[in-house]
Structure 1
Amino acid sequence: MDFLSAFSWINIRFLLDGLLVTLQVAVVSIILSFIIGGILGTLRFMKIPVLSTIVMIIVDIIRNLPLLLIIFFTYFALPQIGIQLSIFWSAVVAMTIFESAMLSEIIRAGLVAVPKGQMEAGRSTGLSYLSTLYYIIFPQSIKLMLPPIVSQFISLIRDTSLAVVISLPELTHHAKIIYAQDPAAVLPMFFAMAFSYFIICYSLSVFSKRLERRWAV
């Protein structure tokens, strides 16, 4: 098999099926982790007695664990306590847990970066703490959060390839099947994977920069 013949329609369609699963896992995980990470990051910023400390401990523990370990936990350990998840949802839950912890720190840091005088100014106008947080602090902090948040989302897309260890039928898994059947297809499949991840991640990066410039105006 030469380089080009590895890209037969059958192989391309098989790779696209895997890419679709990669995107599905990434999109669902991004949405869930953004919501959960936003809540956790806000709770840490608010410094609620006991609760904020508990959140901080949990987040710090998760942030210092390898994602691969969390994937193994959701797929192999959770069934031992009666929580049975499909391969797809095991990957989504693992990604969400890990990325929520990462995003919570980014969001907390973004909120902290807003000058304290902004909160005081909002409260002096009669707004409640939560209203000031929503209408004044968040709009200013999102500009600071956007670059690292997008960077984290890009990492998440790349990290979906780790779910190959639990046989998630994503891009890397399908490419592996193709070159396992024909070792001559190893280089073409690595090229296909690299090209696919690059296009997705680069597109997201360009979109982020345009959005950042628009908000900066």
Structure 2
Amino acid sequence: MDITGALSADHLKFLADGFWLTLYVAFISIVLSFIIGILLGTLRYAKIPVVSKVVAVLVETIRNMPLLLIIFFTFFALPEVGIKLSVTVAAISALTVFESAMLAEIVRGGLNSVDKGQIEAARSSGLTYIQTLRTIVMPQALRRMVPPIVSQFISLLKDTSLCVIVALPELMHNAQIIYAQNVNYIIPVFIVVALMYFIVNYCLSLIARRLESRQA
């Protein structure tokens, strides 16, 4: 095990560059999937004829697919139909599609958790369905959804490592390049990589716990 060689200044910078891209891809995917997930989850909850059923089929189909398959599809299959994406955009697209479906189910569950009596009271007071959803149901549901949503974001950050399969130069990709130079670099590099993931995910876990304790 060569700790000095594995953790040289150049190697640490290379790992940091990969980790920065990991955080960037995760952040963009989180923002996009959050917006799309809320939209899809709300459409499922609203039970709009045809639309809600189509969304339900779409969400359940994606949720039951392996993320790796979706990554392969965006990077290798889409170019076959004329849609060519850079590796970064393909990774963000795949993660966004998968996480949107996961978040849609969390959103639907959160909306369903709101007491129906409040909805009936709001409607009887003269509020429209949209007004009731926006001012009564959604605010309460969002507070309840925050912990599972944060947990899902933690999973998303870890899932970025799967994008190594399409040569996205994220943390695991750069780690592989380093320890491919010397087998004695493997353990030190893996320890640093694990520590990087742990620090960010642990911070997110603390946030989730704090939010859960506030709701208790």
Q: What's the TM-score bracket when you normalise by the shorter of the two chains?
A: over 0.9
Q: 1:180 corresponds to which residue? A: 180
Q: 1:189 corresponds to which residue? A: 189
CA distance in 2, matches of 1:142, 1:4: 48
Q: How does 1:42-53 map to 2 (within 5 A)?
A: 42-53=42-53
TM-score, normalised to structure 1, is 0.96
CA distance in 2, matches of 1:29, 1:20: 14
Q: Which amino acid aligns with 2:104?
A: S
CA distance in 2, matches of 1:142, 1:83: 35
- Residue 205 of structure 1: how far off its partner (Å): 1.4
CA distance in 1, matches of 2:4, 2:143: 44
TM-score, normalised to structure 2, is 0.96
Are the equivalent residues in 1 in contact too, given 2:59–2:101 (CA < 8 A)?
yes
- Residue 178 of structure 1: how far off its partner (Å): 0.2
The range that moved more, 121-130 or 148-157, is: 121-130
% identical aligned pairs: 56
Q: Which amino acid aligns with 1:107?
A: V
Q: Which amino acid aligns with 1:82?
A: G
Q: 1:86 corresponds to which residue? A: 86
- CA deviation map 1:160-215 (0-9, x unaligned): 0000000000000000000001110100111111111110111111123334445x
* Number of corresponding residues: 216
Q: 1:150 corresponds to which residue? A: 150
Secondary structure, in 3 states, of the residue corresponding to 2:169? coil
Q: Which amino acid aligns with 2:143?
A: K
Q: Does 1:55 align with 2:55?
A: yes
CA RMSD of aligned residues (A): 1.2
Are the equivalent residues in 2 in contact too, given 1:123–1:129 (CA < 8 A)?
yes
Q: Which amino acid aligns with 1:153?
A: F
Are the equivalent residues in 2 in contact too, given 1:143–1:212 (CA < 8 A)?
no
CA distance in 1, matches of 2:99, 2:208: 18
Are the equivalent residues in 1 in contact too, given 2:151–2:208 (CA < 8 A)?
no
Are the equivalent residues in 1 in contact too, given 2:147–2:211 (CA < 8 A)?
no
Q: How does 1:100-111 map to 2 (within 5 A)?
A: 100-111=100-111
- CA deviation map 1:4-58 (0-9, x unaligned): 4421110110000000000010000000000001000000000000000000001
Are the equivalent residues in 1 in contact too, given 2:26–2:157 (CA < 8 A)?
yes
Are the equivalent residues in 2 in contact too, given 1:59–1:101 (CA < 8 A)?
yes
- CA deviation map 1:60-119 (0-9, x unaligned): 100000000000000000011111100000000000000000000000011001111111
Q: Which amino acid aligns with 2:117?
A: G
The range that moved more, 102-111 or 140-149, is: 140-149
The range that moved more, 120-129 or 29-38, is: 120-129
- Residue 143 of structure 1: how far off its partner (Å): 2.4
CA distance in 2, matches of 1:10, 1:3: 13
Q: 1:13 corresponds to which residue? A: 13
Unpaired segments ≥5 residues, structure 1: none
Secondary structure, in 3 states, of the residue corresponding to 1:145? helix
Q: Which amino acid aligns with 2:177?
A: I
